[in-house]
């Protein structure tokens, strides 16, 4: 891709971007949210048409008029939110749109056999082509998406945040599959905000900033992380995590939350812990270890037994949780937290519309003033209250979710994967916001799949394995290897 320019009304999303990918390499595409990565890969996928520049495949200039045209030329894209149909079988998903047919009828047998060959090629012959995709775990769905790409004889596969929803052992398997594909000459464009993955799986790196290529062809394994971060953000991020109080600082503070014998049938068993005012408590564990279910049960969103007390008062149901001062930022912000086509203002004030209602009328001026205060306080950009929240970057969408619970005084915030899909610069901003809230006396219960995040941000850590808490300690007393040993013990690798 050379000199790619793409303009939308009021914004020049790509301003002469260059990207060169070689056969059999993993080329990592990096940049902050809003740098132009999504627009670039949608252009490569045929979903956008460039206003200027050219695209060449195997030396020949091509026009990718549509996603179907791109697939026919061997370019497949795996988006972060996989475009699979849960109600269809694995085989039907793999060949969706180019079914194996004879005389106008789909050949179920031929489709199944072809699916078996593709799954075996990816090292996952255990996945049944007849299985319903909706029953598969995230890692299984990822494999089905890759099989679909290979069914089009893809020579270039774009992977957008492929590890975001995967557990530690599943990421290792993903990397094994990628290495096998590149060993067969398939090129991979790999997008991730996890810089440690880039060193492990990448060959070369291209960095985008503000719609421009600021670095290309950097060696992934030897380029210092500090240099990559500086290229992405335009500044050094010397200390990503803000300073935290010394261990024991919160011991004399009152308890905000007390959980006793929390049990979610089949998922969580007899979990007890407390969070004090201004304390950040992190839950560390594998995906599906029960971490998110603990947050949902505390919030009243999941049936559970045991006791949940906020400031000594029992929490009963979501309405009771909100009334007592609980706020939840769920794992999937786009599906579970945001009204994507509504304005930033409406998304911020959604949790307390009664506050603005008088005699059946909404006080728009007061609503706008409260939203504006949060936009300014959290540094949401662009700072346009009327802007549809869909158009914000991931980090700014996450800030809007936090802002919803700050319009009214909160006692405790439940944060599930607060930085998923957020770039390194925006992460530093979110970490500072979370620490600032804790300094103001708000308790925080945090779930993250990234151990450095839990250990760097939390004051105290609970290690969760198979629905139970197996260890509790000050974050300063733990390291990543020790916690990994505890959460992996007894788990199949």
Per-position DSSP letters for 171-183, written without gaps between them? HHHHHHHHHHHHH
Same fold flag, 2-233 and 255-488: yes
pLDDT of residue 9: 78
CA distances, 399 to each of 49, 266, 336, 395, 405 (Å): 31, 33, 15, 6, 10
Q: Is the distance from CB of 387 to CB of 342 less than 8 angstroms?
A: no
Superfamily of domain 255-488: P-loop containing nucleotide triphosphate hydrolases (3.40.50.300)
Place of tokens 């540094």: 379
Average pLDDT of the segment spanning 26-44: 90
Distance, in Å, from the CA atom of 247 to the CA atom of 275, rounded to the nearest integer, reads 14
Beta-strand relationship, 101-102 and 187-191: unpaired
Residue 109: CB partners within 8 Å, gap ≥ 6? none
56 beta partners: 61
Go through the chain and tell me how many residues it has: 493
% of the chain beyond a pLDDT of 70:
96
Q: What is the CATH number of domain 2-233?
A: 3.40.50.300
Please give the structure tokens belonging to residue 116.
């078996």
The span from the CA of 359 to the CA of 172, in Å, is 58
Q: Where are the domains of the chain?
A: 2-233, 255-488
As given in the structure block, the two tokens for residue 167 are 């557990």
pTM to 2 decimals? 0.66
Report d(CA 143, CA 125) in Å as an integer: 11
482's CB contacts (< 8 A; 6+ apart) are none
**Statement: residue 342 has pLDDT above 60:** yes
Non-local CB neighbours of 348 within 8 Å, separated by 6+ positions: 370, 371, 374, 375, 400, 403, 404, 407
Mean pLDDT lowest for which of 42-51, 103-112, 218-227, 310-319? 103-112
pLDDT digits (tens, 9 = 90+) for 357-390: 887 788 899 999 999 999 998 888 888 999 999 9
């Amino acid at each position: 891709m050379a000199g790619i320019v793409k303009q939308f009304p009021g914004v020049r999303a790509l301003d002469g971007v260059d990207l060169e990918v070689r056969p059999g390499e993993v080329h990592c595409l990096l940049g902050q949210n809003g740098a132009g990565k999504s627009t670039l890969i949608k252009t490569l996928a045929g979903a956008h048409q460039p206003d200027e520049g050219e695209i060449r495949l195997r030396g020949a200039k091509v026009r990718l008029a549509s996603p179907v045209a791109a697939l026919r030329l061997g370019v497949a894209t795996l988006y972060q939110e996989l475009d699979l149909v849960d109600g269809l079988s694995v085989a039907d998903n793999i060949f969706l749109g180019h079914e194996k047919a004879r005389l106008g009828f789909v050949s179920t047998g031929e489709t199944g056999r072809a699916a078996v060959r593709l799954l075996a090629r990816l090292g996952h012959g255990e996945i049944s082509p007849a299985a319903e995709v909706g029953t598969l775990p995230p890692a299984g769905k990822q494999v089905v998406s890759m099989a679909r790409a290979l069914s089009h004889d893809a020579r270039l596969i774009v992977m957008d945040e492929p590890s975001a929803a995967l557990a530690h052992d599943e990421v290792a398997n993903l990397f094994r599959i990628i290495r096998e594909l590149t060993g067969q000459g398939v090129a991979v464009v790999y997008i991730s905000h996890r810089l440690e993955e880039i060193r492990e799986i990448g060959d070369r790196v291209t960095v985008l900033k503000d719609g421009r290529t600021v670095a290309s062809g950097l060696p992934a394994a030897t380029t210092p992380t500090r240099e990559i971060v500086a290229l992405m953000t335009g500044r050094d991020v010397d200390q990503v995590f803000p300073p935290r109080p010394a261990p024991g600082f919160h011991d004399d503070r009152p308890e905000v939350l007390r959980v006793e014998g929390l049990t979610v049938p089949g998922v969580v068993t007899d979990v007890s812990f407390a969070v004090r005012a201004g304390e950040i408590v992190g839950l560390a564990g594998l995906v599906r270890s029960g971490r998110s279910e603990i947050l949902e049960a505390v919030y009243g969103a999941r049936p559970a037994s045991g006791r949940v007390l906020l400031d000594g008062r029992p929490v009963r149901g979501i309405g009771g949780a909100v009334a007592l001062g609980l706020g939840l930022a769920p794992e999937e912000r786009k599906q579970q937290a945001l009204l994507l086509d509504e304005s930033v203002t409406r998304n911020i004030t959604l949790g307390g519309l009664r506050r603005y209602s008088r005699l059946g009328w909404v006080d728009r001026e007061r609503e706008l003033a409260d939203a504006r205060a949060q936009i300014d306080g959290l540094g949401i950009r662009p700072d346009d209250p009327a802007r549809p929240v869909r158009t914000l970057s991931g980090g700014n969408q996450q800030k809007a979710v936090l802002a919803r619970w700050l319009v009214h005084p909160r006692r405790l915030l439940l944060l599930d994967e607060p930085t998923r899909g957020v770039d390194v610069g925006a992460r530093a901003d979110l970490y500072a916001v979370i620490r600032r809230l804790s300094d103001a006396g708000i308790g925080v219960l945090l779930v993250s799949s990234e151990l450095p995040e839990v250990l760097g941000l939390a004051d105290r850590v609970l290690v969760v394995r198979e629905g139970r808490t197996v260890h509790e300690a000050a974050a300063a007393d733990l390291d990543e290897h020790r916690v990994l040993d505890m959460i992996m013990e007894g788990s199949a690798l």
